[in-house]
């Protein structure tokens, strides 16, 4: 009888343990979403934006302004000057920025066979200053490669807008251009006079098929 009682007791205990184990499952199952939600509900990240920059500022030394930075700025409507600008950027490691007109030039605007079209009218209007859409910073720049096409023997008027609206102090500007055959003329000097700051070199007319080695020699000739 005693043994029987013991067995019964043991069985009751086993049953009690098993049911207790099963009883835990829903509790755990319930707690899982709570745990899953925890990171989302944790307010800690909300504090991060306030604390992180302060910590970053304290721990990370301010990045030193890059010195002797080279930049290529190009105005190009049909891609010829841009193609050369890309090569210059690749050869020098300089950043390339497009001088984007606020009002893009359409094919009709560029039709120089019609003297009444936009580009030609602008070139015939010395004080025309087409607006620029791009925000070009010259911070830290000491060498600027400045590219443009020749329009009626001159730099497009938008180049005047650019040079007149930036400070080139401490910058050597190396102008280059492409054309159907005309030379660069005094376009570099004229842009320098309009800028009033910086050192503007004589512009070089580069051919669309200029090789990398020719370009490299041209780059080196300005060092």
Ligand X SMILES: Cc1cc2nc3c(=O)[nH]c(=O)nc-3n(C[C@H](O)[C@H](O)[C@H](O)COP(=O)(O)O)c2cc1C
Site string for ligand X, 23-42 (x = CB under 6 A): --------------------
- Give the count of beta carbons closer than 10 Å to the beta carbon of residue 66: 11
Site string for ligand X, 99-118 (x = CB under 6 A): -----------x-x------
> Which stretch, 22-30, 34-42, 65-73, 146-154, contacts ligand X (CB under 6 A)?
146-154
Distances (CA, A) of 6 to 3, 10, 42, 102, 115: 5, 6, 51, 95, 114
What's the CA gap between 129 and 151, in Å, rounded? 14
| Token pair of 141 as six digits | 């720049």
Strands 141-149 and 204-205, by their bridges, are unpaired
143/179 with CB nearer ligand X: 179
E strand segments, 46-188: 69-74, 95-98, 141-149, 172-178
Name 72's bridge partners.
96, 145
Q: If binding is defined by CB under 6 A, does position 76 make contact with ligand X?
A: yes
Q: Which of 70, 120, 160, 187 binds ligand X (CB under 6 A)?
A: 120
Q: If binding is defined by CB under 6 A, does position 161 make contact with ligand X?
A: no
CB of 151 to ligand X, least distance (A): 4
36/207 with CB nearer ligand X: 207
What is the binding site for ligand X (CB under 6 A)? 76-82, 110, 112, 119-120, 149-153, 178-182
């Amino acid at each position: 009888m005693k043994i029987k009682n013991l067995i019964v007791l043991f069985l009751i205990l086993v049953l009690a343990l098993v049911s207790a184990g099963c009883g835990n499952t829903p509790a755990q199952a319930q707690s899982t979403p709570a745990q899953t939600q925890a990171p989302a509900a944790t307010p800690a990240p909300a504090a991060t934006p306030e604390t992180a920059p302060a910590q970053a500022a304290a721990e990370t030394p301010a990045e030193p302004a890059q010195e002797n930075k080279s930049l290529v700025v190009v105005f190009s409507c049909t891609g010829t000057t841009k193609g050369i600008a890309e090569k210059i950027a690749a050869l020098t490691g300089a950043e390339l920025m497009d001088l984007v007109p606020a009002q893009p030039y359409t094919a009709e605007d560029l039709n120089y066979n019609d003297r009444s079209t936009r580009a030609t009218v602008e070139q015939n209007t010395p004080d025309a200053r087409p607006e620029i859409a791009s925000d070009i910073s010259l911070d830290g720049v000491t060498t600027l490669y400045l590219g443009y096409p020749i329009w009626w023997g001159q730099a497009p008027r938008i180049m005047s807008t650019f040079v007149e609206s930036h400070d080139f102090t401490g910058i050597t500007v190396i102008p280059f251009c492409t054309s159907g055959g005309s030379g660069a003329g005094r376009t570099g000097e004229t842009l320098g006079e309009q800028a009033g700051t910086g050192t503007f070199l004589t512009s070089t007319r580069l051919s669309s098929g200029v090789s990398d080695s020719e370009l490299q020699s041209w780059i080196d000739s300005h060092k």
